[in-house]
Amino acid sequence: MRLTFSLILTLISSVTFSQQKISGFFPTNVSKQLEIEKQFDGYLNAKNQDTWLKFLSSRPHHVGSVQGKANADYMANLFRQWGYETELATYNVLFPTPKTRQLELLGPNPYKAKLQETALKEDQTSGQLSEQLPTYNAFSADGDVTAELVFVNWGVPADYELLEKMGISVKGKIVIAKYGGSWRGIKPKVAAEHGAIGCLIYSDPREDGYFQGDVYPVGPFRPEQSVQRGSVMDMPVYPGDPTTPFVASTADAKRLKREEVTTIMKIPVLPISYEDALPLLKSLKGPVVPESWRGSLPITYHAGPSESKVHLKLAFNWDYKPIYNVIATMKGSTYPDQWVIRGNHHDGWVNGASDPLSGMVAEMDEARAIAEMAKKGIRPKRTVVFCAWDGEEPSLLGSTEWVEDHADELKKKAVVYLNSDGNSRGFFGFGGSHALEKYVNEVAADVVDPQTGVSVLERRYARMLASAETSSKSKIYGNRYMKIGALGAGSDYSPFFQHLGIPSGNVGYGGEGNGGEYHSIYDSYDHFTRFKDPGLQYGVALAKTAGRLMLRMANADVLPFDYSILSGTINGYFAEIKALIDQSRMEVEVENKLIADKVYELAADPKEKLKLPVVKPAIPYLDFSPVENALSQLQKTTDLLKISITKADKLDESTLNKLNQLLYQAEQKLLDEKGLPRRPWYRHQIYAPGYYTGYGVKTLPGLREGIEEKNWNETKERIEVLAKALNRFDAALQEGLSILSK
């Protein structure tokens, strides 16, 4: 395995020295493509982006709002004006909104939570109260509960292990969790699994409030009465309309009844501000929580239960609302049935200037530039599709329903899906299928950073070097290569990538536009243009970047997927997992020995009365050889394929067409039709959102979660499933080899 791995590394580092060539183009076509990209840049326009941003964020534009529909029409009209075949793809989806929200602390020091953000004179749109969605978590249960409160830190499974050690149960209690540490929907899910009857989620000032910097309107961070809205639907099981898994929410769709849906939270959940959280947290008794649990409020953080009870009452309008995806298509000049797809959502929780519109306006700028060039005869070879999704915030509604609606066509035609979801000043970032890694690096080397004048790849390398531990700087030095991240959930790539296996990526800039406006009324045009990307310089940088990604994929001779890198990356994940199980085995052995020696008993402070750890079952050795054999074969095939493609500097049209179709469809072989355990909608066997992390990715999810949950039978099954998927993928790529060898 090691030898194969170091071969990959050699191939990877050779990328650095081949910038003259761009992957996917025969040498004779490179300069033409570079000229197209130069022209493309010339059409991009920060002022247009600013105009669109100002209009689209002028009023709250959540699902079902007047402005939401107006925004869809506004964009559709622009796309049409520019020359795109444009449609509003409409679905009817379940979208709950609050009817009743009450939260109060009872007892001798009662407190009634305000649950209301404050209009600011420094923020023009913050006072549009009548149109704003109240602060709430979409897909909370209705409920009216009164109980003691328990503080559960982030509310992830490890936190409950510690509570158990402290002798604290949440059964029959209401929990209060901090935002952060996991995707928000995990918090009520895990709370309910442990018997809690209600859940509050608050923004501790340590995360995005005064601890981080001055609060709005002085600085960009979250003021005391501001609340993070957001969905708590159990999206790690499936996204989209919860009543129509696997199928589109069309008029005639067969729907689950609401009671049959498993992904709506079982308990009432409400997000609150730190102003509202403070009296509740002050009421907590019981042990002081560990240091890593404590936030920045001026109190001692206790685990609870609270001295006084808390009353939480929530009721929702469980209405179906129309959503409006804008789909703008320009047929390719040469390969009209190969689609290069770009998307960003357009719905916001309130005014949504940063999330999502800052990415949306860059996408529009790209579309306009491509259209202008097409008018002058420079039309992409492949079909380009620009999407503006509705309903991403509640649960990726627009993208999921559209993908489910067009699944068969997409499986045949979709070459790549490129997503963005907001943008700010800072550093280039990309996550996605590792088959895209080389191509992404080449693009990043060709886009100039607006603040420094070097390439965005060079700047990212500088940042990585500058912020590395001194001891590891010399290892990084000279390696101007960016390992891209893996994708979990969190935006509209999920249905394309994890449900259909279409190579996908998420692109954006960030790191110098931090703030605490997320999902609040302060994510506004005023906030964005003051703190996140003044002058929209990085809006233009994003358009240059995503535009190149689109244009290279649209015009490539041989599509620039590098499966050798993907194979090497999977090898790396697999090595991690083997190390994980070996590490866990060793840890369990050591822990059990220490427990037998009474080490924890002797070390404990008898006054603290913590429960002592108990002996754990030993961790077995598993037969990983099916995956090892599959990976070894795959690495050989992908390395050979890469070399063969590099050597081919001209191919006839029919060979190219067959080869390209095979290349862009290959990743679909990494799906398993039955999906992952307990969540069949997620089919990709390499990348999935974590069942207990949400946004956070789990690579090789079947194996990894089997091992994490210590479910050995399931892990054994997943080894077989993964090996088969890898073998199918290998067989497909071998076909590519035989096409090339003809």
Q: Is 246 near a second copy (CB under 8 A)?
A: no
Residue 690, token pair as written in the block: 């974590």
Alpha carbons 322 and 48: distance in angstroms, whole number: 29
If phi > 0 it is left, if psi is from -120 to 50 it is alpha, else beta; for residue 227 that is beta
Q: Is 84 near a second copy (CB under 8 A)?
A: no
Alpha carbons 421 and 506: distance in angstroms, whole number: 8
CB-CB contact of 687 with 498 (8 Å): yes
Alpha carbons 379 and 398: distance in angstroms, whole number: 28
Secondary-structure breakdown of the chain: helix, strand, coil percentages, each rounded to the nearest 5: 45, 20, 40
Contacts 24+ apart (CB under 8 A), 597-604: none
Q: Is 470 near a second copy (CB under 8 A)?
A: yes
| Binding residues with a second copy: total (CB under 8 A) | 51
One of 7, 378, 599, 739 touching a second copy (CB under 8 A)? 599
**Please, which residue, 451 or 629, has the CB nearer to a second copy?**
451
Q: Pattern of binders to a second copy over 477-506, x per CB under 8 A?
A: x-----------------------------
**Please, which residue, 463 or 724, has the CB nearer to a second copy?**
463
**Helical packing angle, 2-14 and 625-647, nearest 10°:** 30
Q: What is the DSSP track for 163-198?
A: HHHTT---TTSEEEEES-SS-TTHHHHHHHHTT-SE
**Please, which residue, 9 or 612, has the CB nearer to a second copy?**
612
**Please, which residue, 479 or 644, has the CB nearer to a second copy?**
479
CB of 216 to a second copy, least distance (A): 12
Q: Is 601 near a second copy (CB under 8 A)?
A: yes
Nearest to 190 by CA among 161, 156, 158, 165: 156
One of 30, 288, 448, 662 touching a second copy (CB under 8 A)? 288
**Please, which residue, 372 or 458, has the CB nearer to a second copy?**
458
CB of 533 to a second copy, least distance (A): 12
CB of 458 to a second copy, least distance (A): 7
CB of 209 to a second copy, least distance (A): 9
One of 41, 87, 307, 512 touching a second copy (CB under 8 A)? 512
**Please, which residue, 286 or 702, has the CB nearer to a second copy?**
286
Alpha carbons 536 and 538: distance in angstroms, whole number: 5
Using the contact rule CB under 8 A, the part of the chain among 125-133, 376-384, 596-604, 672-680 near a second copy is 596-604
Name the helix (H) or strand (E) containing 157: helix 157-165
Q: Is 576 near a second copy (CB under 8 A)?
A: no
Helix (H, G, I), strand (E, B) or coil at 526: helix
Give me the phi and psi of 153, to 5 degrees please: 60, -125
Using the contact rule CB under 8 A, the part of the chain among 4-12, 211-219, 361-369, 719-727 near a second copy is 211-219
Alpha carbons 688 and 670: distance in angstroms, whole number: 12
**Please, which residue, 16 or 146, has the CB nearer to a second copy?**
16
CB of 243 to a second copy, least distance (A): 44
Nearest to 559 by CA among 670, 446, 435, 654: 435
CB of 289 to a second copy, least distance (A): 10
CB of 608 to a second copy, least distance (A): 9
**Please, which residue, 246 or 477, has the CB nearer to a second copy?**
477
Q: Which of residues 217-236 bind a second copy (CB under 8 A)?
A: 219, 221
**Please, which residue, 138 or 168, has the CB nearer to a second copy?**
168
CB of 12 to a second copy, least distance (A): 21
Q: Is 28 near a second copy (CB under 8 A)?
A: no
CA dihedral 364→366→368→373, nearest 10 degrees, is -170
One of 598, 609, 611, 650 touching a second copy (CB under 8 A)? 598
Alpha carbons 224 and 279: distance in angstroms, whole number: 13
CB of 591 to a second copy, least distance (A): 8
Using the contact rule CB under 8 A, the part of the chain among 75-83, 130-138, 591-599, 675-683 near a second copy is 591-599
Q: Which one-letter DSSP state was computed for residue 498? A: I
Q: Is 181 near a second copy (CB under 8 A)?
A: no
Name the helix (H) or strand (E) containing 679: none
Q: Is 161 near a second copy (CB under 8 A)?
A: no
Q: Could you tell me how far CA 302 lies from the centroid of its own chain?
A: 32
Q: Which of residues 407-466 bind a second copy (CB under 8 A)?
A: 425-426, 451-452, 454, 458-459, 462-463, 465-466
One of 66, 586, 618, 731 touching a second copy (CB under 8 A)? 586
Q: Which of residues 295-314 bind a second copy (CB under 8 A)?
A: 296-300
Q: Is 171 near a second copy (CB under 8 A)?
A: no
- The β-bridge partners of 215 are 221
Q: What is the DSSP track for 421-473?
A: ----SEEEEEEE-GGGHHHHHHHHHHSBPTTTSSBHHHHHHHHHHHHS-HHHH
Nearest to 150 by CA among 125, 173, 132, 128: 173
Residue 407, token pair as written in the block: 């699944």
Alpha carbons 111 and 105: distance in angstroms, whole number: 5
**Please, which residue, 425 or 728, has the CB nearer to a second copy?**
425
One of 205, 286, 359, 429 touching a second copy (CB under 8 A)? 205
Give me the residues that bind a second copy (CB under 8 A), please.
Answer: 205, 210-215, 219, 221, 288, 294, 296-300, 425-426, 451-452, 454, 458-459, 462-463, 465-467, 470-471, 473-474, 477, 512, 583, 586-587, 590-591, 593-594, 598-607
